Amino acid sequence: MKHILPIITITTLAAAASAQTAAAPAGLSYNRVTVSRQGQNTNLSASAFLGSSNVLATIGSSTAGTSYALGYVFKGVGAGIDATVSVGAGNATANSTVGLNLRRSLSELVSGLEIAAGVAYNPGAGASASTKEYTYELAYNINKQFSVAYGITDVAGAGSNLKTVSVRYNF
């Protein structure tokens, strides 16, 4: 009888520790700085939620110039997928885009793994023809702050795939 209290205490502490490690992941990180290399081009971008909203602001810089985008993240639209709808602009009207990106954590398969797929439409202006870009990405979160990713961008009609390697810092 006198051993029941310590056994109950140890059992309660073990259950609490077990529940703490089995907690659901915090979700995908959108507040991040990315350095990427695509062919001979190095790109730097930063994205963050505006306040506590789901509005995502992104700014990017590369040899092609500076780009800006605003998007809205719909979290958990189905099967753990986050959908981001965005509009963006670059140096010229021809760089304006409308996009949709789908992102999902695959931590149930490999802890820290995630995939993304998206499409961006550039309506073109003047002599520029409209284009669609399809992107596919596989990323691995090394820890809460750092991740690495490999992506492929397929520009419809161009007949070429652009490969991108990225390193990210999540904040």
Which pLDDT tens digits describe the chain residue by residue (171 residues)?
A: 455 544 554 544 444 444 433 333 457 999 999 999 998 889 999 999 999 999 999 999 988 789 999 999 999 999 999 999 999 997 654 568 999 999 999 999 999 999 999 999 988 765 567 889 999 999 999 999 999 999 999 987 666 789 999 999 999
CA distances (Å), origin 60, targets 13, 48, 66, 93:
48, 12, 6, 16
Q: Collapsing DSSP states into helix, strand and coil, what is residue 35? A: strand
pLDDT tens-digit readout, 99-147: 999 999 999 999 999 999 999 998 876 556 788 999 999 999 999 999 9
pLDDT at 4: 54
Which pair of structure tokens corresponds to residue 105?
């954590």
What letter does residue 1 receive in the DSSP assignment? -
Per DSSP, the residues of 101-122 read: EEEEE-TTTSTTEEEEEEEEEE
Q: CB neighbours of 14 closer than 8 A, spacing ≥ 6? A: none
Q: Encode burial over 74-92: b for 16+ CB neighbours within 10 A, e otherwise.
A: eeeeeebbbbbebebebee
Burial of 158 from C-beta contacts in 10 A (0-12 / 13-18 / 19+) = exposed
